[in-house]
Structures are given as structure tokens and as C-alpha cells.
């Protein structure tokens, strides 16, 4: 199985011994840490947590922005073999209450900018005993509301670094809440082995000791944890930006000499939509992970002078499918990973029977122990539903060609049925995204008078003032089957996305449906 020495806390300790003065982390907004400093800080934090009674298996929530404190919390809880519950910093109200309650959190470390959100919730959180405020004072109301409340400085006062056994690959690293786009969010039990395998497919020459990797992901996202792991295991410098900025991206990677970066979801579209400059390729980047791949993949590579790859993954399963940097067609997510023999993949029908090559089926995955999720915390019914017949069911439809390339078709619940035809919303979106006037898009099915669906696309236009829905539809008529061409088009400034997964909230779009502002192709006909 996996050597525990590859887990992030142990890796930090190894590099602190071998290259103590090498930079481990540098924040674009200011501040640096060497590997020796990261080790000392994380072990000091672990000493402080241990003094508060945190032991192996304890659930400690964090609600922190990208930065040193988020890394210290993650590593220190790892040293204690405790379980971090990293909370989305957009959570408030019932959503925040739900996560703290269902994860059985006993201690919370919260940024001062978020602490006021707790006031109306604390009466309904009987297990929460300790609150540590980072970056500000403890409000009077908080001091009276919980048995123990202190600032970070008070929490750390008097504590010094000491050695701890640290995590095993089978320990639960974190409970990470999934998007909850179709129901209540689920707390995924993520073992350290699963978190490691999410990035381990990236070739070693992508990032060497002492080199720098750019990261604008948040600490509550599995992608953030993946990049953190990647940097520390390889002895690289993690370059952190508080929030992704397409306009500053090239300046950032040039200034900090970043050779690798990950760009996912709308980040890719925003970056590629930036005005072209003659020196775009004049940068230190060698490799960029795009998720998902874009039609303009080759243009992206030439423009920025990089090689790109992609993968398919989710919080529950890591990344069992990935391309190499010598990728195939842009539409593919890659092939089953040969470097990671612990995982097995099948595409199946509704009875879990494997479908023939070329046909669409749900991707299901199984593995050696601990390489995938350990279930959903306190949700045995959802765990049993997902882990049917010994396989984890992703809920995603794929097809696989004869060469072993996997192609994402749709979320099982997002497919559209129009006039007897099953339509992939993903394929509609890809077609629309190829139009030069479109920056972002989501395709949904809305009720048709004949009982099935009509296709509707919600579009973010490059220039809303000049955008012409009819011109888009006529352009699509020449490029896709007629039954897939949208009837309805809505123009919006932004698509509603989940803060954790960056997936579009299609349930919200479906609930809104056709409105008075919606363009209707049928209404334009003479």
C-alpha cells in the first residue's frame, strides 16, 4: 500500500531535515515560510491542540481563508491524527449550522471576519465547546456563549514544537462537505491515502524540489488539499493567492517563477478570455492542469507556451482517470491510471452490468482499502446508496472508446430527453462554448408541452450588449443535431456556482426556468 512518509506532515518533516532553509510557502499577498519554519509551526500548533484535549479521531472544524493559518491547522491536526472539518467560508445561517452539527464538531478555529456568523447558531450546537478566533479579538458574546473561547495567540501561548507520531494512510484526514446541488450536503470521509492519490498521477518532472507551484484554491476544497499535498511531498514552494485573479495570473507566475499551476472550472474561461499579448508565452510555466479540458486546448498551449493535462475526479474518489501531457482529443478525461493499480473502473447500466465499449454507462469505482472515501459521515443510507455491490457509484455517465479513453457524457440527473432523444447537457455546453461570443454556459431541460423536455441554455456573453441569440442558434444549427439545438436562451452576468465544487447550481436554474426575459426560438418564427 502507501508509505506513510509520503503524507504531507511527514513530508514536511523530511524536507525540514534535508533542506531546512528551502522555501515551503510564499503568499502573493506577503509572507514566506521555510520547511523548517513550517515544521516548527505545525508542531507548535499540534502541542496547543493536544493541550486542549484534541486526540486521534477528534473532529475540529476550521473556517479560514487561504494562508499560513489554514496550512498550520491542517498539518497540526494531521500530526495528532485528528480529523479536520474545513468549512466553506461562504457558509452562514442554516448551512453553517448544518455542517457544524452533522460533523459532531467539538472545536472550531474561525477567522475573525467570519465569527459574527456564529452568534445566532450557538444555542443549537451543544457539542461545540471550544472556539479559537484567528486574526482578531474574542467578542464578548462569544466568551459567554461557549465554555472556552480564545484568540490564536492565547491558544498558542507557552507551547513549543514537539514530535508526534503523525498520520497513517488509513487515518481520516478530513470530512469535506460536497456540493449538495440536489440535496443536503454530505460530509465525505477522506482518508490520507485518498487525498494523496488525487495528485500522485502528475509526472515527477512536472514539479521538482525547490520549484514553485501556483495555487488559488481554497483550503476547504479537495483541489486545494491536492495542490498542498503535491507541493509538500515534492519539496516544492507553494505559492498561494487568496483568490484567483485572471488579470494577475501571468504577473503572479512570472514574479514567483511558478512552473506548474492548476486551473479549473470558470478560471479557465476567464484566463483564456483575457486580451492577448505578444508576450503571453514569456513565462516560466511548463505545465497546467485544466479541469475540464477546453476546445481551445491547443491554442491555450501555444498561447501560454505550456503543456496541459486533465483528469476526472471528485472528493469521494480522487482522480482515477487522467490524461498525460501528451494528451489525446480535448473531449477525453483520459484513461484509467496505470500508475495507480489500487483502483478499478467500470461503466455499467442500471443493474450494475458492464456496458459494451462505446456505450454510455455510469462510472463505478472500487479500490484497495482506504484509496477512496470511507463513506459519508453519519449518513449510512447515503453511504449504502453510493457503495452498492461493493463499488462506489459516481452518478456520472461516461463512454469509453476502444483505446481506453473515457469521455464524460453527463451527470446522471442532468440528462435531457427531447422528442425521444437523450441529450447530454455537457455536449450541448461544449458546442455552445465554441462560439466566440460565449464565455460560459449551462444547459438544462425545461418542461415541454408534450411531456418531455425542451433544451434551454443560460449564457454568459463576452459582450452582452451585442449578443444575438438568433445568431447563436443559427450557428449551432450547422454544428449539432437539430434535436440538441436550444429552444430557449437566457443571458446572465454570471452562473450560480457552488463555492466548494464550482459546479453550476442547475437545480436553481431549473427552478427559475423560462421567464419573461428568456429568448424563445419558437417565438421568432414567422
State whether 399 and 467 are in the same domain.
no
CA distance 105 to 30: 32
Q: Is residue 377 part of a domain?
A: no
pLDDT at position 391 is: 98
CA distance 131 to 148: 6
Q: Is residue 376 part of a domain?
A: no
Domain boundary among 347, 378, 410: 410
State whether 89 and 148 are in the same domain.
yes
pLDDT at position 410 is: 77
Q: Is residue 386 part of a domain?
A: no
Three cell numbers written together for 457: 441554455
State whether 181 and 265 are in the same domain.
no
State whether 9 and 29 are in the same domain.
yes
331 lies in which domain range?
205-224+232-365+392-410
CA distance 229 to 241: 16
Under DSSP, is residue 116 helix (H, G, I), strand (E, B) or coil? helix
State whether 155 and 212 are in the same domain.
no
Q: Would you tell me how many other CB atoms lie within 10 Å of the CB of residue 26?
A: 16
Three cell numbers written together for 143: 466568551
Whether residue 74 contacts residue 222, with contact meaning beta carbons closer than 8 Å, is answered with: no
pLDDT at position 181 is: 45
Domain boundary among 376, 410, 444: 410
State whether 429 and 325 are in the same domain.
no
Q: Is residue 199 part of a domain?
A: no
Q: Which residues pair with 366 in a beta bridge?
A: 344
pLDDT at position 236 is: 97
Domain CATH code at residue 456? 3.30.300.30
Q: Is residue 379 part of a domain?
A: no
State whether 214 and 161 are in the same domain.
no
State whether 299 and 428 are in the same domain.
no
Domain CATH code at residue 59? 3.40.50.980
Domain boundary among 172, 193, 214: 193
DSSP state of 65: -
State whether 211 and 184 are in the same domain.
no
Count, residues in the chain? 526
Q: Where are the alpha helices (DSSP H) in 103-221?
A: 140-145, 152-156, 192-199
pLDDT in tens, the chain (526 residues): 578 988 999 999 999 999 999 999 999 999 999 999 999 999 999 999 999 999 999 999 999 999 999 999 999 999 999 999 999 888 888 879 999 999 999 999 999 999 999 999 999 999 999 999 999 999 999 999 999 999 999 999 999 999 999 999 999 999 999 865 445 789 999 999 998 887 776 777 789 999 999 999 999 988 899 999 999 999 999 999 999 999 999 999 999 999 999 998 778 878 988 999 999 999 999 999 988 888 888 899 999 999 999 989 889 998 999 998 876 777 899 999 877 667 899 999 999 999 999 999 999 999 988 989 999 999 999 999 999 999 999 999 999 999 999 998 877 777 787 876 668 787 789 889 989 999 999 999 998 876 678 999 999 999 999 999 999 999 998 887 788 899 999 999 999 987 666 778 887 898 899 999 999 999 876 5
Q: Is residue 489 part of a domain?
A: yes
State whether 187 and 213 are in the same domain.
no
Q: Based on the structure, what is the number of domains in the chain?
A: 3
pLDDT at position 67 is: 94
Domain CATH code at residue 336? 3.40.50.12780
Distance of CA 372 to the CA centre of its chain: 16
Q: Is residue 298 part of a domain?
A: yes
State whether 271 and 140 are in the same domain.
no
State whether 259 and 397 are in the same domain.
yes
Q: Is residue 299 part of a domain?
A: yes
Nearest to 31 by CA among 284, 283, 256, 260: 256
Amino acid at each position: 500500500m502507501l508509505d506513510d512518509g509520503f503524507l504531507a506532515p511527514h513530508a514536511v518533516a523530511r524536507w525540514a531535515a534535508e533542506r531546512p532553509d528551502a522555501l515551503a510557502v510564499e503568499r502573493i499577498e506577503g509572507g514566506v515560510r521555510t520547511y523548517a519554519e513550517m515544521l516548527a509551526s505545525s508542531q507548535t500548533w499540534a502541542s496547543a491542540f493536544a493541550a486542549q484535549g484534541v486526540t486521534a479521531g477528534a473532529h475540529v472544524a476550521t473556517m479560514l481563508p487561504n494562508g499560513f493559518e489554514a496550512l498550520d491547522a491542517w498539518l497540526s491536526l494531521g500530526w495528532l491524527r485528528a480529523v479536520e472539518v474545513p468549512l466553506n467560508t461562504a457558509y452562514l445561517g442554516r448551512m453553517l449550522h448544518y455542517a457544524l452539527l452533522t460533523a459532531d464538531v467539538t472545536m472550531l478555529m474561525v477567522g475573525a471576519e467570519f465569527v459574527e456568523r456564529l452568534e445566532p447558531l450557538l444555542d443549537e450546537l451543544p457539542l461545540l465547546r471550544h472556539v479559537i478566533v484567528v486574526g482578531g479579538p474574542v467578542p464578548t458574546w462569544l466568551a459567554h456563549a461557549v465554555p472556552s473561547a480564545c484568540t490564536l495567540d492565547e491558544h498558542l501561548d507557552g507551547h513549543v514544537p514537539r514530535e508526534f507520531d503523525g498520520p497513517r494512510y488509513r487515518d481520516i484526514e478530513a470530512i469535506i462537505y460536497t456540493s449538495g446541488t440536489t440535496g443536503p450536503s454530505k460530509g465525505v470521509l477522506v482518508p490520507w491515502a485518498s487525498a494523496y492519490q488525487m495528485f500522485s498521477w502528475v509526472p515527477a518532472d512536472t514539479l521538482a524540489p525547490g520549484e514553485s507551484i501556483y495555487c488559488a484554491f481554497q483550503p476547504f476544497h479537495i483541489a486545494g488539499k491536492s495542490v498542498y499535498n503535491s507541493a509538500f511531498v515534492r519539496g516544492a514552494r507553494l505559492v498561494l493567492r487568496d483568490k484567483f485573479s485572471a488579470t494577475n495570473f501571468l504577473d503572479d507566475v512570472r514574479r514567483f517563477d511558478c512552473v506548474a499551476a492548476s486551473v479549473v472550472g470558470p478560471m479557465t474561461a476567464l484566463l483564456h478570455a483575457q486580451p492577448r499579448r505578444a508576450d503571453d508565452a514569456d513565462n516560466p510555466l511548463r505545465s497546467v492542469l485544466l479541469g475540464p479540458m477546453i476546445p481551445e486546448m491547443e491554442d491555450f498551449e501555444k498561447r501560454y507556451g505550456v503543456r496541459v493535462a486533465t483528469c476526472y475526479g471528485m472528493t469521494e474518489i480522487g482522480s482515477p482517470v487522467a490524461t498525460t501531457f501528451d494528451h489525446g482529443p480535448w473531449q477525453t478525461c483520459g484513461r484509467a491510471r496505470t500508475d495507480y493499480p489500487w483502483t478499478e473502473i467500470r461503466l455499467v447500466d442500471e443493474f450494475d452490468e458492464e456496458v459494451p465499449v462505446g456505450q454510455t454507462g455510469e462510472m463505478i469505482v472500487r479500490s484497495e482499502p482506504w484509496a477512496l472515501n470511507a463513506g459519508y459521515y453519519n449518513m449510512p443510507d447515503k453511504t449504502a446508496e453510493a457503495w452498492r455491490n461493493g463499488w462506489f457509484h459516481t452518478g456520472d455517465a461516461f463512454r469509453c472508446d476502444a483505446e481506453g479513453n473515457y469521455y464524460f457524457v453527463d451527470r446522471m440527473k442532468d440528462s435531457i430527453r427531447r422528442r425521444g432523444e437523450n441529450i447530454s447537457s455537457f455536449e450541448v455546453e461544449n458546442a455552445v462554448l465554441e462560439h466566440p461570443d460565449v464565455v460560459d454556459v449551462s444547459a438544462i431541460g425545461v418542461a415541454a408541452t408534450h411531456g418531455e423536455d425542451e433544451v434551454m441554455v443560460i449564457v454568459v456573453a463576452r459582450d452582452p450588449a451585442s449578443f444575438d441569440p438568433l445568431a447563436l442558434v443559427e450557428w449551432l444549427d450547422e454544428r449539432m443535431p437539430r434535436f440538441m439545438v436550444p429552444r430557449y436562451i437566457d443571458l446572465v452576468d454570471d452562473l450560480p456556482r457552488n463555492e466548494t465544487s464550482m459546479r453550476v447550481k442547475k437545480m436553481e436554474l431549473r427552478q427559475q426556468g423560462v421567464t419573461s426575459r428568456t429568448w424563445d426560438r419558437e417565438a421568432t418564427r414567422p
